[in-house]
Chains A and B, each alone.
Chain A
Amino acid sequence: EVQLVESGGGLVQPGGSLRLSCAASGFTFSSYDMHWVRQATGKGLEWVSAIGTAGDTYYPGSVKGRFTISRENAKNSLYLQMNSLRAGDTAVYYCARVPGGYCSGGSCSSDYGMDVWGQGTTVTVSS
Chain B
Amino acid sequence: DIQMTQSPSSLSASVGDRVTITCRASQGIRNDLGWYQQKPGKAPKRLIYAASSLQSGVPSRFSGSGSGTEFTLTISSLQPEDFATYYCLQHNSYPLYTFGQGTKLEIK
Contacts and interface: CB of A to CB of B under 8 A. Distances in A.
Interface of A: 33, 35, 44-47, 50, 52, 58, 60, 94, 98, 111-115, 117-120
A50 B93 CA distance: 12
B43 A120 contact: yes
Interface stretch (B11-19, B20-28, B74-82, B98-106): B98-106
Contacts of B94: 112
Contacts of A44: 87, 99-102
B58 to A, nearest CB: 12
Contacts, number: 56
Interface residues of B, number: 24
A118 B43 contact: yes
Contact of B55 (A47, A115, A117): A115
Contacts of A112: 32, 91, 94
B99 A45 contact: yes
Given A44-B87, A47-B97, A117-B43, 13 more contacts: A35-B95, A44-B101, A45-B89, A47-B96, A50-B97, A52-B95, A58-B95, A94-B44, A98-B91, A112-B91, A112-B94, A113-B46, A119-B43
A98 B49 CA distance: 12
Contacts of B97: 35, 47, 50, 114
Interface in B50-79: 50, 55
B50 to A, nearest CB: 7
A114 B95 contact: no
B55 A114 contact: no
Contacts of A35: 95, 97
Nearest to A33: B95
B49 to A, nearest CB: 5
Contact of B46 (A46, A52, A115, A118): A115
Contacts of B50: 111, 113
A33 B96 CA distance: 12
A60 B96 CA distance: 7
A1 to B, nearest CB: 13
11 contacts: A44-B99, A45-B36, A45-B89, A47-B99, A50-B97, A111-B50, A113-B49, A114-B89, A115-B55, A117-B45, A118-B43
